[in-house]
Structure 1
Amino acid sequence: MGPERPREHSSSKPSRSTPRRIIAQPTRLQAVEDDPLGPLGAPAAGKDAADLPPGVELPPALPSKEQLPLRTTLPAAPGGTTATRRTGSTHHHRLDDDDDEGFNRPSGPRQPPPVQAALASPVRSNMQPSVSIEQAAKPSFNITVGDPSKVGDLTSSHIVYSVRTRTTSKAYRQPEFEVKRRYRDFLWLYSTLHANNPGVVVPPPPEKQAVGRFETNFVESRRQALEKMLNKTAAHPTLQYDADLKLFLESEAFNVDVKHKERKEPNLGESKGMLSTLGINVGSSNKFVEQDDWFHDRRVYLDALENQLKALLRAIEGMVAQRKAMAEAAGDFSASLHALSTVELSPTLSGPLDALSELQITIKDVYDRQAQQDVLTFGIVIEEYIRLIGSVKQAFTQRQKAFYSWHTAETEMQKRKALQDKLLRQGKSQQDRLNQVSAEVGDAERKVHQARLLFEDMGRLMRSELDRFEREKVEDFKSGVETFLESAIEAQKELIEKWETFLMQLDAEDDETVFYRPPVIHSSKPPGNTVVDRARATIDDDSD
């Protein structure tokens, strides 16, 4: 037995080293040289010829190096034959050998096997980009405010607007409807939405104006602002489900429905909402000290942004005033040129002067139109965000009120607990009073819990609202600036075209101008009303 143990150990040595080699198993079986069994003909580990039954021989053993590399197919050798296997030593911790002498291929770095690119699926290419479930289930609104008309007598005259709504929401009776609303109805909607949704930034209506409220430009700018307010409100993920918005958009007898709602909910006009149920002191004069640095930084940022927007609005108003002054100056210049052309005796000079007068009238119209477009494209965006900052500050005020409510409830709870401790020290002499105070302590703790949750929820809601405010601000200002620039470019192109046309008329001919032609009598041609015709008529009158 002793002599056979070393031999048995040496015969099992290759089998022990084989499991430690990291070699991928082949996925394709191929015959190796003349062995009909291929890789499956390897002898079992640890067996000897003496252990087999008589008459059974071991299959031919393969070299210990014969293993398939990490490939599913072997590269074909030139001539259509299969490449021979590698020979040499193999490192136990590497997947590939560095000894490539056994391969019948050119020298150099080994190229990776070709990989066929994945074919694009025709089904996926024809699919439309998917949207989220929330976006698919979210109702859409398209609200237009138009047809402003003045109604009422001299003392109660006001503007009435037609509010037309198209929606996919199932909460409304019809998908398309139209109602009549006046400006104070929009104010009611704004204040009611603020009361119903503390912490939400409600899109505000335009400010009230007593002087010039029936002017055409003012009515148009107010109409656009009211339309934008309603569309932003209907697009808000929280405000679009408010019952008062539905009442505003759908009610045919709006004033009657509002009075009925106020009788049913008498606290509606107090603008307290949920905070009033927690014992909040609306008129609290305590100065609020912000504990959250994030809200403190946002408040400082909003104050600076409001000041910058107000300065920008003043600059826009100054530029609009200058455009209107230039338009007025162009009108005066045109009138002076026309007067000069009427007294000028030389037709070669009176014609160009009159044409230049008409050109100044066109310039005046361009300046007037550009001034109005500046107000309706960029100025209205600046005014809207100044009002929106006021709405954000109102949401900050509601959060401060929730903070006061929370601490007021905590103070009341501490008072109840102090009274409870006092009664506990007195013993069982006032058991009834102790039970009452214990119930009050439990109720006070419940109020503190509700007030704290309301304050924390309002803080999270305001964070999302301020993020939404920033995203919409970027989009609205980008759109406003683009429209402002496009309007300015179109105005300048129109002016350049008019001036170039005028100069081409002046330089059309060297010997005779286009403004004067020798009089040719055409009995059948009716008299015209162009600049040249008027110049010829002036010459005929002078000759008479």
Structure 2
Amino acid sequence: MSDSREPPPFDDEETEEEESVKQAEVVSQEEVVTKPTVVTEPDPVPVVKEAAAPEPVKVEPELLDDDDDDDMFESASASANLPNISIEVPTKYTDTAKDDYSKASHSSQYDSKVNDITIQVSDPHKVGDGMNAYMSYRVRTKTSIPSFKRAELAVDRRFSDFLGIHEKLLAKHRHAGRIVPPAPEKSIVGMTLIKMSKTDEEAVSIDFVEKRRAALERYLNRVARHNTLVQDQDFRDFLEQEELPQATNTRALSGAGVMRLVKNVEGALSKITIKMTEEDSWFEEKQQQIESLEQQLRKLHASFESLVHHRKELAVNTALFAKSSATLGNAEEHTALSRALAQLSDAFEKIENVHQEQSNTDYYAVAETLADYLRIITEIKEIFMVRVKSWQNWQNAEQNVQRKKEAEAKMQASGRTDKIAQIQADIKELEARVQTCKSDFDELSAEIKKEMQAFEQDRVVDFRQLVLIFLKNLMKSQEQNIKNWEAFMPEARAIA
């Protein structure tokens, strides 16, 4: 009885459309009959399919074209006057793919012009044995900037060399209000694994080495995006000179390391004790924005790291399921079922590779980018603190002038005129000092505003690329999984 109540299925879509068109024609004819005085033809009645089920949307490979991505963000990029970005996500997560994801030479500094320089860090290899061992990296540079000696450069650098150039850039540019991208952090555990490795192949295979290589490449490209830092002589020497003096002040137990620790403690105390009267509303709003951005990025970074960890666990469990399916297929006596279980195991092995590639891509392209920006925000806070110290120097100079003027007034009141000339000379010198401190403070404030403008432009471009890479990788992973299941479907239907 239940079958008789259900409408018959539409085996032929053309038949259904013809019936609908006929009904529409009948309705239109009735309207004409009831209204003979109307000369104009009635509007066509739209055909409505009530019983037809919607067809599933099939994702075509053309959806992954770069032109579609530009259309998705056309209005946003046009309003921000940002350059278009073309991103290719390979099907396999090879070393070349890791290089593509970690490149960051696509942004601009203060204007729409992009620095024509690309830096690649590759070929990590172990040098030395035992506790004296370290990893060396090949730094390749391609540029058309006239200040460089050649268009293509290649040098070998160890991790301490990267820290050395970072310390030099900080010493020369932080006090001027420029944002120096933070260098990758040290890792005692990772270096211990490298020193304990017996062969070069074993050292290179450590996951820590690849993470550090990608971080060093992102760091150099971020520095190269800055119009001032890329022209720094020390930075050019780092990319050009075959041999560099060993950077010993980067060691944690060195004298310079102890001094850095003391300065960090002093800086923390200064942040607590110095209270600046902010007169520029722009800086007040920007500091609040940076604080809010840091909080949200920390939450997003923690969530995304959890997602990457979940996908790695999913890949491991998928591999275990594939192994169990293969074991069950070997024990199955039914030939068709045994063959289907073997094919199911192969499908799950392919899906396990997809999950692993997706987790790797998400880590290098998204999670590490978020971590970089958290470290950049920390550097921005240090720049704001440099401005506070500059303001304090200005206020101290004005207080010194005021004290000298009070001392001059007391001497004049007491009739002691022998030292008035010296005090007046000191006052004139201190007033010049006040003007210098005020000028330094104003220049520093203007430079920080320019740096923050560039930071905002770069952040929009980087996060746009981050979203595009994440979506492309997600869509490609889903397409690969669909293909794997479609290939397995005939085997499942062949079980008899």
TM-score by structure 1 length?
0.61
CA deviation after TM superposition for structure 1 residue 223, in Å: 2.1
Is the 1:179–1:249 Cα contact (8 Å) retained in structure 2? yes
1:421-452 deviation line (CA, Å, top 9, x unaligned): 3344455751xx33332222222112111111
Match of 2:464 in 1: 478
* From 132, 149, 159, the counterpart of 1:183: 159
Aligned to 1:154: 130
Does residue 289 of the first structure (1) align with residue 265 of the second (2)?
Answer: no
Q: CA deviation at 1:345?
A: 1.8
- Mean CA deviation greater in 352-361 or 204-213: 204-213
Which residue does 2:352 correspond to in 1?
Answer: 364
1:135 deviates by: 7.9
How far did 1:232 drift? 2.3
Asked if 1:298 is matched to 2:286, the reply is yes
Unaligned segments of structure 2, at least 5 residues: 1-109, 195-204, 250-254, 261-265
- Name the CA distance, whole Å, in 2 between partners of 1:290 and 1:201: 23
Relative to structure 1, the CA distance from residue 290 to residue 478 in structure 2 (aligned partners, 3 Å threshold; closer, same or farther) is farther
Structure 1 residue 333 corresponds to structure 2 residue 321: yes
- Which position in structure 1 is the counterpart of 2:334? 346
Tell me the distance in 2 between the aligned counterparts of 1:281 and 1:412. 24
CA deviation digits over 1:165-213, x for unaligned, max 9? 2333343333332222222322232332222122111111222223345
Aligned position for 1:225: 215
Q: How many Å separate the matches in 1 of 2:185 and 2:113?
A: 35
Structure 2: which amino acid aligns with 1:202?
Answer: V
Instruction: Answer yes or no: is the 8 Å Cα contact 2:326–2:342 preserved in 1.
Output: yes
- The alpha carbon displacement at 1:301 in A equals 1.4
More helix by share: 2
Q: What pairs with 1:14-29 in structure 2 (closer than 5 Å)?
A: none
Alignment of 1:103-502 (within 5 A): 140-197=116-173, 198=175, 199-212=177-190, 216-255=206-245, 284=270, 286-291=273-278, 292-427=280-415, 429-430=417-418, 433-502=419-488
Please list the CA deviations of residues 235-269 of structure 1 after superposition, one character each: whole Å capped at 9, or x if unmatched. Answer: 2122222232223223333226x689xxxxx99x9
- What CA distance in whole angstroms lies between the structure 1 residues aligned with 2:477 and 2:268? 53
SS state at 2:234 partner? helix
Kindly provide the amino acid, as one letter, of the partner of residue 419 in structure 1: A
Name the SS for the 1:211 alignment partner: helix
* Gap change, CA 1:297 and 1:346, over 3 Å in 2: same
Q: Distance in 1 between matches of 2:295 and 2:332?
A: 55
Rounded to whole Å, the distance in 1 between the matches of 2:462 and 2:114 is: 22
Please, which moves more after superposition, 443-452 or 145-154? Answer: 145-154
CA change 1:426–1:169 in 2 (3 A) is farther
Cα offsets for 1:20-54 (capped at 9, x unmatched): xxxxxxxxxxxxxxxxxxxxxxxxxxxxxxxxxxx
Task: Tell which structure's C-alpha radius of gyration is larger.
Answer: 1
In the TM superposition, residue 481 of structure 1 has moved relative to its aligned partner by 1.0
SS of aligned partner of 2:145:
coil
Alpha-carbon contact 1:402-1:451 (below 8 Å) kept = yes
Check whether the contact 2:181–2:219 (CA below 8 A) recurs between aligned residues: yes
Q: In the alignment, which residue of structure 2 is the partner of 1:125?
A: none
Deviations 1:374-426 (A, max 9, x none): 10111121111111101111111111111111112222222222233334445
Contact kept? 2:114, 2:225, Cα under 8 Å:
no
- Contact 1:333–1:357 at 8 Å: present in 2 too? yes
**Contact 1:144–1:227, Cα closer than 8 Å, also in 2:** yes
Output the CA distance in 2 between the equivalents of 1:429 and 1:304. 58
| TM-aligned CA deviation for residue 373 of structure 1 | 0.7
Letter in structure 2 aligned against 1:289: M
For 1:239 and 1:282, the matched residues in 2 are separated by 27
Secondary structure class of the residue paired with 1:169: coil
Quick check: 1:281–1:401 contact (8 Å CA) kept in 2? no
* Alpha-carbon distance in structure 1 between the residues aligned to 2:162 and 2:186: 11
Which residue, out of 496, 500, 504, partners 2:490?
504
Q: Distance in 2 between matches of 1:474 and 1:308?
A: 15
In the TM superposition, what whole-angstrom CA distance separates every residue of 1:102-148 from its partner, at most 9, and x where no partner exists? xxxxxxxxxxxxxxxxxxxxxxxxxxxxxxxx989996322222111
Alignment partners' CA distance in 1, 2:315 and 2:342? 18
| Separation in structure 1 between the aligned mates of residue 472 and residue 392 of structure 2, nearest angstrom | 50
How far apart, in 1, do the equivalents of 2:421 and 2:417 lie? 12
Q: Given that residues 281 and 405 in structure 1 are in contact (C-alpha distance below 8 angstroms), is that contact kept between their aligned partners in structure 2?
A: no
Q: Distance in 1 between matches of 2:406 and 2:145?
A: 54
More displaced, 481-490 or 498-507? 498-507
My pick for the range that moved more, 337-346 or 489-498, is: 337-346
Q: Distance in 2 between matches of 1:399 and 1:319?
A: 39
Counterparts in 2 of 1:492 and 1:281: CA distance versus 1, 3 Å: closer
Identity %: 31
Q: Is the 8 A contact 2:366 2:470 kept in 1?
A: yes
Query: Which AA in structure 2 matches 1:148?
Result: P
CA distance in 1 between counterparts of 2:112 and 2:456 reads 24
CA contact (8 A) 1:166 1:176 kept: yes
Where 2:273 maps in the other structure, the secondary structure is coil
Can you give the 5+ residue segments of structure 1 that lack an aligned partner in the other structure?
1-133, 261-265, 272-279, 514-544
SS state at 2:141 partner: strand
Tell me: CA distance 1:330–1:428, structure 2 relative to 1, closer, same or farther (3 Å).
Answer: closer
Going from structure 1 to structure 2, the CA distance change for 1:241 and 1:290 (only over 3 Å counts) comes to farther
SS in structure 1 opposite 2:131?
coil
Greater Cα shift, 364-373 or 408-417: 408-417
Partners of 1:409 and 1:444 within 8 A in 2: yes
Distance 1:480 1:304 in 2: 20
Q: Is the 8 A contact 1:282 1:401 kept in 2?
A: no
Per mean C-alpha deviation after superposition, the further-off stretch among 480-489 and 282-291 is: 282-291
